[in-house]
Amino acid sequence: MSLKRSNSTGKSFGAADAGGKIDRQELFDELKRLAALGEPFTAVTVALAVGAGEPHVAKALLGLAAEGYLERAEGGRYRASAMAEMNQAEFVKAYARASKVDSTRQRDLSEIGRLKQNNDVMRQRLLVAIAERDHYLAALRTHGIDPGPAPQPAAGARADSEAAPAAESEASSAQSAATPPADADAAEPRN
């Protein structure tokens, strides 16, 4: 008897025999029950209800979400809305496909998750920047200062290359117009 087999018979921390496999029938029943409730759930709640290990349940839920049978919600939660009309035969086929996640697909799924999280962070930053801009524009308007027109995005590289000679001539004429008169002391002081 090998060392691995002799150690697997005793109870040790984190080494539950039931944690390695998920009973498909129990998982199907639990997902159907959660679909009827319509509330979001986590892999931990399903793992506790099914009696399987949380990493295995999380992997199964991720695979079912990739197949389109579960909907990913925020915070690592899922919704089982598509499970309501699914029968057990369809579930067994979907679960078999979801269980066979190859390394490329797993890498793609983790990359998609990372990109979605990055997208959420950037969206939040954009919303904060927009709120800041609106706040400062409102402050300017309350003090009677016209902020001017909103900046326009560049039309493209071609328009920039055509506008460069015209911009240089405008800049030189603007610079000559902006030079202060010899009587600089007569000008009003700026605050």
CA neighbor of 47 nearest in space, from 66, 34, 65:
34
Res 65: pLDDT: 83
Res 107: pLDDT: 80
How crowded is residue 55: how many other Cβ atoms within 10 Å of its Cβ?
12
Taking CA 123 as the corner, what is the angle to CA 117 and CA 127, rounded to the nearest 5 degrees? 150
Per-residue pLDDT 10s for the chain (191 aa) are 444 444 444 433 334 444 468 888 888 888 888 888 888 888 888 888 888 888 888 888 888 887 778 888 777 788 887 777 888 888 888 888 777 756 777 788 788 888 999 999 999 999 999 999 999 999 999 999 988 888 788 876 555 555 555 545 554 444 444 445 544 444 455 54
Res 140: pLDDT: 92
The token pair at 103 is 């390394």
What does pTM read for this prediction? 0.45
For the domain made up of 16-100, give the CATH fold: Arc Repressor Mutant, subunit A (1.10.10)
φ, ψ of residue 12 in degrees (nearest 5): -135, 165
Res 129: pLDDT: 95
Specify whether the CB–CB gap between 16 and 53 falls below 8 A. yes
